[in-house]
Amino acid sequence: MQKTLGSEGHRALVQLITEKRKAAGLTQDDLARILGEHQSFVARLESGQRRIDVIEYVTISCAIGFDPAVELNKLLDDA
């Protein structure tokens, strides 16, 4: 199995999270505070330097305010 960091799917997931965060009017710092993390955590995630596991994806999605299952299905449909 290939590594996912930097893959097309990983980039699409990162783009989704970044776009949803911005659409919600949240800065990286805002999201980090909600998650109990440092801003650098969000910056590394959005720059593709950090892998996103399933639990993190769900937690981040809920923090931003979107349904993780719906958006993941859209990504899979577009793949």
User: pLDDT by residue for the chain (79 residues), tens digit each?
Assistant: 566 777 888 999 999 999 999 999 999 999 999 999 999 999 999 999 999 999 999 999 999 999 999 999 999 888 6
With b meaning 16 or more CB within 10 Å and e meaning fewer, what string describes 4-18?
eeeeeebeebbebbe
Q: 47: buried, middle or exposed (CB in 10 Å: 19+, 13-18, 0-12)?
A: exposed
Rounded Cα gap, residues 36 and 16, in angstroms = 21
Residue 2 has a pLDDT of 63
Residue 79 has a pLDDT of 67
Residue 12 has a pLDDT of 94
Residue 16, SS3 per DSSP: helix
Output the pTM of the full model.
Answer: 0.89
Rounded Cα gap, residues 54 and 67, in angstroms = 13
Domains of the chain: residue spans and CATH: 8-78 (1.10.260.40)
